[in-house]
Structure 1
Amino acid sequence: MNTSRRIFLTGASLIALDLIASAALAQEAQGLDAIGQLLKSQGRGNWSDDFDAQASQSNKIASRLPIFSPQTVTYIEQAIGQYQQIVAQGGWPVVPSTKKLKLGVVDPDVEVLRKRLIISGDLSARAGVSQAYDTYVDAAVKRFQTRHGLPADGVMGKYTYAALNISAQVRLGQLETNLVRLRSMSGFLGDRYVMVNIPAAQIEAVENNRVVSRHTAIVGKIDRQTPIVNSKINEVVVNPYWNAPVSIVRKDIIPLMRKNPKYLVENNIHILGPDGNEIDPQTIDWNTEDAAKFRFRQDPGAINAMASVKINFPSPDGVYMHDTPSQGLFNKLMRFESSGCVRVQNVRDLVVWLLRDTPGWNRQHFEQAIKSGENTPIQLVNPVPVYFTYVSAWSTGDGVVQFRDDIYGRDGVDELQISSTAL
């Protein structure tokens, strides 16, 4: 991946893959039994689809199991046992990272890559060790990339190499660190709740211990980190005003006004004094930070920083969840772009789910409220628990272990901050 991590576009990092490294081999093993079952089936019009589906049912990456679940704790405990064995047997080899290996390449380094993927369970041992980057290796690399939150393109780029070459011992320690975090949240969290996983930049809406929807998120920058939060969502604001935090006024708005005195007008932002009256920007000395003592409020509208909706809950840090006019940011590999709040992709789906028990607020009414352009606060009849958490390793299935970049460095090992080490 020669493209900068800050502009690398991919929609694949959070898409569930049904392919596994041993898919084609599993077909061969099932052989005539699988073919016989298909020939006897009622709906024989899609033989190829049915056959592929049978061959790839086991060991899927996709799961409706929440990260916060007693079952997840059990699976990560099993994974720790497996990784302890891998470490005891010497770990896995370092894959030379000097070439952009991909499907069709024949190279001695592919032998090392195959050994590495076999040890971690991404490639079936029956695929053997050769110099060919064939379809088995391609599927195995995609499976590995998906487990690590990387673009599942099957191409060996710098971020894939960086993730591959973290030692088994370090990965074991990462699992053990996150087991403690998961155990602390494995009790009853509510019949319905929302979980924001910061390292994964992902949101789960959970109901009856099942993920009903997942949403790509944008979370805080390294120098403006999203905090850990346990709270309850109590309000949704349609067409919200945006009140700029003091940190953004100082770090962003004041410098922008120095460059472009029309910035506030162009972005529908008003300065309000302590009495609520509007202050003329021309009366402020922008070469100082005097402006930080005033309130900066942006009108609702298409360019509003929160776009169509804001999701509120009590928080000592004043953070919240919201829509964004910059939808392209959700396609980035590294989605750590905010000033601490959490931007939500497909936020309207999440809001409709949150408002389900609030009379009168079905999807149609909600969409009409957005089109009206009017600022509309809605109190939830039944507040929904929300948890901002930091889980960089977990498992939601036997043999399926997920790892993410330790973006804020909370796991204690520099090597796990791939976004920094792979530069």
Structure 2
Amino acid sequence: LTPGQPWAGLGVLAERLVALGDLPPQPTGEPPAASAPAQYTPALVEAVTAFQRRHGLEADGVLGATTLAALNVPPAARAEQIALQMERLRWTPVLQGPRMIAVNVPEYRLRAYEYAGGRITLRLSMAVIVGKALDTRTPLFDEDMQSIEFSPYWNIPPSIARGETVPRLRRDPGYLARQGMEFVSAAGVSTDTTPEMLGAVLAGQARIRQRPGPLNALGDIKFVLPNNDNIYLHHTSAPTLFGRSRRDLSHGCVRVEEPVALAQFVLQDDPAWTVERIRAAMAQPKPVFVRLPHPVPVIITHITVVVQDGRPHFYGDLYGHDRKLASLLRQHSAKPYDAVRAGSAAGVIGPK
């Protein structure tokens, strides 16, 4: 349903949007359905756009299948979703130091906080790209960011080399040079794409890395937080992807939209690292390593309900963690969830 189109369900749509707080109520006090417009009006379009924004959807004002499905989620299900986030937040570590970084996977967002004088202040908020829900999910963990690598090499993980890079090089040997890649082995660095070298990569006797530069998959900065999954935060050579509403597109690492601002945040204890120096380091032809004066805690979590400006914002269960948590809780105590389900549920929006 696009602006200006007629639809028999507009009255029910208006009622639902008023109930959810995305459409102002009628000044006369009449039910929205009583004066439902014959066409999809600008006021309704604006309300649907606000609803989409609160539910992590493409905020285009178009009422399609995905938006309709979100509008038809009953209040009981939303209550259960909120309860699950309260449980998850209960055991999520917070306030581990004067500064911290939190990445919320289903929201595709990073926030950086400062804690001082008993107050938490939000310093940064930016879009991120996370691991694909299908097969390369970003793991959830709590680790310290300890260093930054400007103009990094991308050492291609063995799993990606075996499953993607080596097969591509067998089909197209020139791909190595075009992408600024090279082989690294005990014999040194090579750019000769030979069957023997590819066999060495598959046998774990050589690796493939991508040199610093505009094609580098890590972009021009890498934020290092040692962990068993080899996950880190980094920029990207494809920044246009941040414009998408769904951003589970990586092999597991977290790509950040504003790397310079994040570098300023984590390096603020060292006044020598100005914006100009950060940008200069990102443009170097070889890597520049910087150890942080004080490690910064980083939490990667999966919270599907976030309160912003006093309003709840709901996001999809991207990796299925809500579903798993609900199942585990029901095994121990079914009563709270039975009570939630017994609550009243709204009707389904659709043509009359």
Among 311, 326, 338, the residue aligned to 2:223 = 311
Whether the 8 Å contact between 1:221 and 1:337 is mirrored in structure 2 is: yes
Deviation, structure 1 residue 363: 0.7
Which structure 2 segments of 5+ residues have no match? Answer: 325-352
Q: Which amino acid aligns with 2:36?
A: Q
How far apart in 1 are the matches of 2:91 and 2:73?
A: 27
How far apart in 2 are the matches of 1:397 and 1:189?
A: 25
Q: What is the 5 A alignment of 1:152-171?
A: 152-171=59-78
How far apart in 2 are the matches of 1:178 and 1:401?
A: 12
How far apart in 1 are the matches of 2:94 and 2:139?
A: 21
- Partner of residue 94, structure 1: none
Among 103, 128, 139, the residue aligned to 1:217 = 128
SS of the residue aligned with 1:103?
coil
How far apart in 2 are the matches of 1:227 and 1:261?
A: 33
| CA-to-aligned-CA distance 1:172-227 (integer Å, 9 cap, x gap) | 21111111112223742322111111111110111231222211111001201100
Say yes or no: does 1:297 pair with 2:297: no
Structure 2 CA distance for partners of 1:288 and 1:239, relative to 1, 3 Å: closer
Q: What is the count of residue pairs matched by the alignment?
A: 312
Structure 2 CA distance for partners of 1:255 and 1:283, relative to 1, 3 Å: closer
Q: What is the 5 A alignment of 1:24-423?
A: 100=1, 102-126=2-26, 128-129=32-33, 130-132=35-37, 133-185=40-92, 187-208=94-115, 209-222=120-133, 223-274=135-186, 276-278=188-190, 280-284=192-196, 290=202, 292-398=204-310, 400-412=311-323
Higher-strand-fraction structure: 2
Deviation, structure 1 residue 292: 4.9
Whether the 8 Å contact between 1:216 and 1:344 is mirrored in structure 2 is: yes
SS of the residue aligned with 1:356?
coil
Structure 2 CA distance for partners of 1:122 and 1:375, relative to 1, 3 Å: same
TM-score by length of 1: 0.69
- Partner of residue 327, structure 2: none
- Partner of residue 346, structure 2: none
Q: Which amino acid aligns with 2:254?
A: V
- Partner of residue 38, structure 1: none
Q: Which amino acid aligns with 1:116?
A: R
How far apart in 2 are the matches of 1:189 and 1:211?
A: 15
Once superposed, what is the RMSD of the aligned Cα atoms? 2.2
Q: Which amino acid aligns with 2:63?
A: M
Deviation, structure 1 residue 152: 2.0
| CA-to-aligned-CA distance 1:278-303 (integer Å, 9 cap, x gap) | 47431437589725552211111111
How far apart in 1 are the matches of 2:131 and 2:154?
A: 17
SS of the residue aligned with 2:106?
coil
TM-score by length of 2: 0.82
How far apart in 1 are the matches of 2:266 and 2:238?
A: 23
| CA-to-aligned-CA distance 1:109-139 (integer Å, 9 cap, x gap) | 1111112212222223326223323333222
How far apart in 1 are the matches of 2:70 and 2:297?
A: 33
SS of the residue aligned with 1:105?
coil
Whether the 8 Å contact between 1:228 and 1:387 is mirrored in structure 2 is: yes
* 4+ long deviations beyond 6 Å: none
How far apart in 1 are the matches of 2:200 and 2:90?
A: 49
Whether the 8 Å contact between 1:106 and 1:131 is mirrored in structure 2 is: no
Whether the 8 Å contact between 1:258 and 1:287 is mirrored in structure 2 is: no
Deviation, structure 1 residue 250: 1.6
- Partner of residue 349, structure 2: none
Q: Which amino acid aligns with 1:189?
A: Q
Which structure 1 segments of 5+ residues have no match? Answer: 1-99, 414-423
